[in-house]
């Protein structure tokens, strides 16, 4: 226990701990919406797209969080635009836009790097042990905004993400709700850049929520349990990073992924080992899985 408390006498560890808690919390909550809407790829697209905005903001001396946020939202607008105005499907549009933004971002940061104290790797892979006081302040403000939005619009967002046509037919402003979700996702990614980096932030968005999804059956329970798993993952990852000198983002992601795999195997509702799908063939789980791939004509009445 002392080993866990001892590092906290350092200011940078205290700051890292706060960031780890905030990022674990908001990523899991906002990521729950991505999971239930099958928009995991969109999270990936936005996270890669923030890079040029960040670089341009740095170049002109603006707040890099604001620049990154604008680029992230802009990328979703362009994706929607390509999809609406051409026969290109959404996934292809995402692939085109996020790789283009990402390439532009890498180019800009590499150019800026020559004259400035800025490290491309820290944005790509995160550097939770290097966060500053102003990083903590910005992240806390963003987290407060995100939590307030989710709390205030919870019932509308639940309806919209579950049944968008039904919500629209009931007279809810679904375009606005969709834009709100995009803003939430972009804000979350921007707030998480310093902790895990833009490449691995997808894991914190998706994995804790997906783990909780295997264990509970209501959206707000998925969010709360996912947040606990996300916070646990980021704190553990931070300590692993400190003690073993591992890259922080990667350490956080590995813990989160390990927890997901445990739930995947052991979930009382959906676990591979705890939910044998058939009693007639008590064989190895792997064999059961292979057998389940064979299509069946089972009709739900």
Partner 1 sequence: MQSASFFDNASPNPRFTVHTQAQQAASNLVVDNLSVKYRAIDALTDVSFSVKPGRLVGIFGPNGAGKSTLIKAMLGLIPTISGKVLYQGKPLVDQLDQVAYVPQRSQIDWSYPVTVWDVVMMGRTKKTGWFQRYSSISRRLATQALERVGMIEFRDRAISDLSGGQQQRVFLARALAQQAEVFCFDEPFVGIDQKTQAIMFDVFKELTRENKLILVVNHDLGESIAHFDDLILLNKSLVASGTRQQVLTQENLEQAYGGRVVFFSEAA
- When binding is defined by CB under 8 A, the residue of 152, 176, 262, 287 that contacts partner 1 is 152
DSSP 107: H
If the CB atoms of residues 90 and 156 are measured against partner 1, the closer one turns out to be 156
Interactions with partner 1, residue window 91-150 (CB under 8 A): none
If one asks whether residue 183 binds partner 1 (CB under 8 A), the answer comes out as: no
Interactions with partner 1, residue window 218-277 (CB under 8 A): 218-219, 221-222
Q: What is the C-alpha separation between 25 and 22, in angstroms, rounded?
A: 5
Helix (H) or strand (E) holding 246: none
If one asks whether residue 281 binds partner 1 (CB under 8 A), the answer comes out as: no
We find the least distance from the C-beta atom of residue 108 to partner 1, in angstroms, to be: 38
Neighbours of 211 (CB within 10 A): 27
- Helices 64-85 & 174-213 angle (0-180, nearest 10): 110
DSSP 295: -
Q: What is the C-alpha separation between 103 and 100, in angstroms, rounded?
A: 5
| Residue 5 phi, psi dihedral angles, 5° rounding | -85, -35
Q: How many residues bind partner 1 (CB under 8 A)?
A: 29
If the CB atoms of residues 173 and 276 are measured against partner 1, the closer one turns out to be 173
If one asks whether residue 170 binds partner 1 (CB under 8 A), the answer comes out as: yes
Stretch that binds partner 1, among 139-147, 169-177, 179-187, 285-293 (CB under 8 A): 169-177
Q: What is the C-alpha separation between 257 and 254, in angstroms, rounded?
A: 5
Which spans of this chain sit near partner 1 (rule: CB under 8 A)? 36, 38, 152-153, 155-156, 158-159, 161-163, 165-172, 213, 216-219, 221-222, 299-301
């Amino acid at each position: 226990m002392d080993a866990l408390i001892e590092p906290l006498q350092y200011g940078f560890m205290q700051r890292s701990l706060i960031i780890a808690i905030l990022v674990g919390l908001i990523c899991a909550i906002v990521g729950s919406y991505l999971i239930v809407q099958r928009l995991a790829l969109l999270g990936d697209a936005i996270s890669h797209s923030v890079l040029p905005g960040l670089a341009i903001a740095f170049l002109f001396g603006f707040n890099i969080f604001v620049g990154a946020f604008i680029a992230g939202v802009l990328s979703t607008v362009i994706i929607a635009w390509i999809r609406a105005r051409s026969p290109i499907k959404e996934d292809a549009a995402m692939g085109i836009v996020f790789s283009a933004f990402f390439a532009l971002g890498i180019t800009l940061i590499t150019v800026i790097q020559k004259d400035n104290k800025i490290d491309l790797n820290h944005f790509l892979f995160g550097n939770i042990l290097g966060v500053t006081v102003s990083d903590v302040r910005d992240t806390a403000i963003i987290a407060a905004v995100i939590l307030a939005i989710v709390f205030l619009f919870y019932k509308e967002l639940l309806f919209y993400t579950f049944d968008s046509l039904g919500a629209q037919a009931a007279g809810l402003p679904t375009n606005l709700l969709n834009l709100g979700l995009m803003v939430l996702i972009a804000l979350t990614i921007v707030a998480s850049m310093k902790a895990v980096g833009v490449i691995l932030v997808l894991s914190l968005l998706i994995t804790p929520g997906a783990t909780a999804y295997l264990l509970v059956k209501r959206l707000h329970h998925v969010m709360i349990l996912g947040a606990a798993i996300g916070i646990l993952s980021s704190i553990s990852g931070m300590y692993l990073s400190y003690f073993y000198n591992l890259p922080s983002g990667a350490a956080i992601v590995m813990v989160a992924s390990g927890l997901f795999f445990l739930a995947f195997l052991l979930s009382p509702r959906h676990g591979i080992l705890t939910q044998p799908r058939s009693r007639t063939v008590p064989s190895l789980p792997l064999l059961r899985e292979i057998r389940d791939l064979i299509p069946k004509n089972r009709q739900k009445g």
